[in-house]
Structures are given as C-alpha cells and as structure tokens.
Amino acid sequence: MALLGCSVSLSRLILDYPTLTGQAIRYAVAAVILAVVRRGLLRPTRAELGRLLLLAATGMAGFNVCLLAALRHADAAMVGTIVGAAPLGIAVAGPLLRRSRPAPRLVAASAVVVAGAALVHGGGHADRIGLLAALGAFVGEVCFSLVAASVLPRLGSVGVTTWACAFSVPLLLVPAIPLGELGRMRLPTVPEAATLAYLAVVLTVLVFLLWYGGIARLGVERAGMLVGLLPVTTLISAAVQDIDLPSPAQAAGVLVVALGLAAGLGSAARARNPLRRADDGRVVRHRLAAVARRQGDQRAAADLDHQVGEA
C-alpha cells in the first residue's frame, strides 16, 4: 500500500493514452513476467475460474477504468476520499459473505482509518460522472481483496495474480474494439511507456504479490485496513516532491489513521483468519491431491482438486 500510495500521481501521466488498451498492455506484461518466473502453476477449478474472472473484471480491469475515468471528472482529493473508505467496506462485507457477524472492534478501527483518510485528502469536487466512477473504483478496491481471499488458499498469491492478470487482458481489449480504441492506437510517448512499465512491474507484479501474501497471513479484514495507508503515503510523497509541508488538518489525519491501524492490528484485536484456520479441510484435501499426483493417480488428484475448488 505504501508503494501504491507513493505512485498515485503516476496515473495522470497516461490519461491521454487509450485507457483500455494501456491497461491491457500493463496486465499482459505482468502476466508474462509472472508466468516466466513461476512455472508449473496450478490450473484453477471451475469454481475458482469464475472467481478469478470476477476478480479480473472488478478488482483489476474495472477498478483501473473507473479510477482513470474518475480522475478526468473529479479532483484527486475526492477520488481518494471515496476509495479510501475501502477498509470499512472490507471489514463489513468480508464477514457477511462468510455468513458471520463483523467484528465490532475491526469495524470501529476501520471507521477511524477512513475518517483519518478523509482528513488527509481534505475536500474536493466532482461531477456526476466523477462521483459514479469513484464509487465504481471503491467497489473494485473492495472486490480486489474479498474475491481473491476465496482462491488464495490453493492457488497462492503468485497463481492468483498470474491468472487474474491474464484474464484481465481480453476483458479490457474486447470493449476497446467497439469504443474505437484500436483505431486510435499509437506508440506511447517516453513518459507514458515508462509509466506503463512501472505499473506492470512494480504496481502489479510486486505490489499484488505483497498484498495477497499479506491477506493470507493477516486475514482479509485486518489487511484491508492497510488501504488507509494510501492517502498517507500519497501525502508524504507529494510533500517530499513539492518541498511543501502538510497542513495541520492533514497531519492530524495521519495521526488518526495511525491510531486506527494500531487498534485494528494490535495483538488484542487479532481476529480469526479464515484463510489459515477455517480452511483446514481444504488444506488436507489439497495435500492429499499432491500425494496422489506424485503417485501417478491423476484421476484421484483431479477429484480432490475439484473438491478444494468447490469448498
């Protein structure tokens, strides 16, 4: 999240480049890098395939399209404030999807983080399109974590990132055709090419792997609160670049975010991690599948993999 926050302003450098095509290039490059680095990825089951497609459509392709659209119709403060509410959305929606009650302390801590993020960003303005696009980016940010959490136990952070990036490419290119982007294709300028390369290598390969690894260890609700670091690191990087100290209200917002994170991530607030404790049966079946595969019983391994995906 710190790396992402420090790089928010980079998105403005590619606003003049075809949106869908540019993001498709980004995810295609990332998928190729990951496939080369980690060979022999597990194939997703039918259930996992549907979740990965949903993740690619909402948390990756949809989020970036909405974010770039929002930046064209709203200032960064307004967009950041709305997307910055993601920790609260994750803290509430995560348990509800598992048919359990949200942890009151995590919800309260997430609300504190969101309040601090709003102070950091300050006010802002947006037209109707900008507001709707920012809300779409908010939904995409929540789905980016919640949907991935359901497939991380078997596929792992590398597998989830690789498959989701690969699926994002056609999801972005197909609508680019009727929208006429292919007819406006051109070579990116040097700043645009450098930005796309940075987005592919650092903000996709590196950041996605780190983020999904954090979800697997902390649980999606607790990890989701770290989205509140986005406005803080954005503010700090802007202050360093512009040699301009933040306002008192922004400094207070940083403090509020820190308090919220301390409350939610502290040892007294350790919530049950569904990826490490509620999936014992899935882990056992996955290990049995690996044993069956080593013994040459591919049919048994496939059946067990299917059971893991359906669980």
Q: Average pLDDT per run of 10 along the chain, which is 311 residues long?
A: 65 84 94 88 92 95 88 76 79 82 81 78 74 90 91 92 95 90 88 92 91 87 76 68 72 78 61 46 56 61 58 50
Structure tokens of 211? Answer: 């983020």
- 203 and 298, same domain (yes or no): no
- 34 and 130, same domain (yes or no): yes
- Give the pLDDT score at 102: 80
Decide: residue 248, CB within 10 A, 0-12 exposed, 13-18 middle, 19+ buried: exposed
- Give the pLDDT score at 268: 40
- 32 and 177, same domain (yes or no): yes
Rounded Cα gap, residues 306 and 311, in angstroms: 9
- Give the pLDDT score at 250: 73
- 256 and 283, same domain (yes or no): no
Residues with Cβ within 8 Å of 209's Cβ and at least 6 positions away in sequence, in order, are 157, 158, 161
- Give the pLDDT score at 304: 56
- Give the pLDDT score at 32: 94
Q: How many CB atoms lie within 10 A of CB 177?
A: 11
Structure tokens of 166? Answer: 């690969």
The model's pTM: 0.74
- 310 and 165, same domain (yes or no): no
- 154 and 292, same domain (yes or no): no
- 118 and 78, same domain (yes or no): yes
- 112 and 187, same domain (yes or no): yes
Residue 34 domain boundaries: 2-273
- Give the pLDDT score at 31: 95
Domain count, the chain: 2
Structure tokens of 265? Answer: 């991530």
- 286 and 170, same domain (yes or no): no
Query: Residue written as tokens 């060979």?
Result: 39
- 202 and 296, same domain (yes or no): no
- 288 and 158, same domain (yes or no): no
- 178 and 286, same domain (yes or no): no
- Give the pLDDT score at 280: 45
Among 271, 143, 167, 288, residue whose Cα is nearest residue 219: 271
